[in-house]
Chains A and B, each alone.
Chain A
């Protein structure tokens, strides 16, 4: 029982601090937050026994942790509308963070789980955005179809790179994807069919069963509709990747990542698995792009340039390869925090560069590194019990 109280107390405190953090105008709040986090890290390091209670509480009540987290997240549009002066703006920032997180999770499946570097994530995300835009503008398809179609089209675009994906290793694939990303943006820029440099305008908003997403939701800004949709899509993405990771799929992919020859000689058809992983990752990037296109209503080639891919890669490297929670943390730090300090945005690229280099030197495996797979808690306990 106490564990639920501990979890609830911690989550609500963090949530309250987060809202407070967003409401404070001064950039000093960033410094205060850093000090607070440093304090928590030190507390964990020097008082391992006392802090263990909290850690155990979180570990032993996973469903409750996630459930309460979901409730708090779902309450955000309401809280933001009521408490925050710039509630709408922060709602948009949070949606943006979730969209980036979806793309980063897609990349993580390719890079973190399988070891395939993809420097064209923004371009594939753009393919999804354009696909959704064109399908709804030209063919009048409803969003319920454009979202999955955008995913499939982004996956298909990834498969154009089939040969380099299963033939090349490491850095070569990085270069090939880098070039491919440039080509896509260049093509979008110069093709009249996709609106050229002007891009696509007036992309229809999402409508689901006649419900239009530009209608204010219970007095809140219409972004609240998109906030909830983004939350659902993100939850689905996390669920899919969590399940894939904790299954034979994850095992085959990490074996390919760590030693491709060993994987092959164990019977893994590496070409097929790598293509599958690449397509799967791209699918979610495409869906994220479609969501963005419908929400903003206007897309143009500069939205999908290499620099955005760099942000996505930074999220994965900072957060931790093949660690879903770590990547979530990475997205919050790299997408949400900079909005707090507008000064940062001008030096964004520089700061990301420095950050990646620093991470690679001091913590090459990310904030939350990869942990050996458990598949399922029940299995762990069964074997532990059995082996005694």
Chain B
């Protein structure tokens, strides 16, 4: 590995639901400014790992350290404030809200105006809204200018592919240090996937020092974007290294046999 610093690591992380061990002895680290791919067959514990990081699930054992601080016992909103944002495997957008609002909520942590100015100082509130809306427009300009024309439409009226884009945008709008992407291209055609990855790359280039951890079933995506790959199965790590190294591991081939075709 190069001289990048470790931003985040889990130590012997473990979680079980009743008798089911969804994660066992997971030691995963993310370096500054890297793209890490997380792969594994269905039900192997990938999404669960994201849920533990973001504080939705409390781990049964082990620890998570981010910027030298433990994330254990922290609420999801606190973890978000520390600079970790995410997308979800099945979309979690607010379908009745406009595209703009769905991205604006991603900037929640930087809002200065609150209850008081909402009621008593509308001018201040509207000025901040205007300022943030401009930033969303700038973000969309880089990410995918086509979305700008649909800014005021309720997200529920947009096609599936745009919704996934909006979700990525919302996560990026937080200007996080780590972005967790859970199958961002689920339900997309290969072309659409390529386009989305290109969009993500563009925004990433415009932001400084953001690490990405990406879960993907589409191996072509993983192989083209990630610098490092970790494979898990039944909640345990089975391989790590470059994509080629991981794909060549017998345990990985075995795990995927009959489920996914591993590109060589």
Contact = CB atoms under 8 A, between A and B. Distances in A.
Identify whether the interface residues of B are mostly helix, strand, loop, or mixed: helix
Interface residues of A, number: 37
A262 B96 contact: no
B137 A386 contact: yes
B115 A261 contact: no
A370 interface: yes
Interface string A250-287: 11101101110111111111100000100000000000
Contact residues of A: prevailing secondary structure: helix
Given A255-B105, A270-B77, A248 B92 contact: no
A311 B4 CA distance: 63
Interface residues of B, number: 49
Interface in B170-221: 170, 174
B113 A373 contact: no
B125 A248 contact: yes
Given A243-B122, A248-B113, A372-B152, A262 B94 contact: yes
B105 A247 contact: no
Given A276-B115, A387-B137, A267 B98 contact: no
A372 B149 contact: no
Interface stretch (B61-69, B126-134, B231-239): B126-134
A248 B114 contact: yes
B152 A380 contact: yes
B149 A387 contact: yes
A382 interface: yes
A372 B109 contact: no
Interface in B131-159: 133, 137, 148-149, 151-154
B101 to A, nearest CB: 6
Contact of B108 (A266, A373, A378, A382): A266
Contacts of B95: 258
Contact of B80 (A257, A267, A387): A267
A372 B154 CA distance: 6
A53 to B, nearest CB: 23
A379 interface: yes
Contacts of A376: 126, 129
A263 B122 contact: no
B92 A267 contact: no
B160 interface: no
A379 B101 contact: no
Given A266-B170, A268-B77, A372-B152, A247 B137 contact: no
A1 interface: no
A258 B98 contact: no
B145 to A, nearest CB: 9
B106 to A, nearest CB: 6
B44 interface: no
A57 interface: no
B54 A265 contact: yes
Contacts of B149: 387
Interface in B96-116: 96-98, 100-101, 104-106, 108-109, 111, 113-115
4 smallest beta-carbon distances between A and B, as pairs: A258-B94, A247-B118, A372-B98, A264-B76
Interface of B: 54-56, 75-77, 79-81, 85-86, 88, 92-98, 100-101, 104-106, 108-109, 111, 113-115, 117-119, 122, 125-126, 128-130, 133, 137, 148-149, 151-154, 170, 174
13 contacts: A244-B118, A248-B118, A258-B94, A258-B96, A262-B92, A262-B105, A265-B80, A266-B108, A267-B80, A267-B81, A276-B115, A372-B101, A372-B153
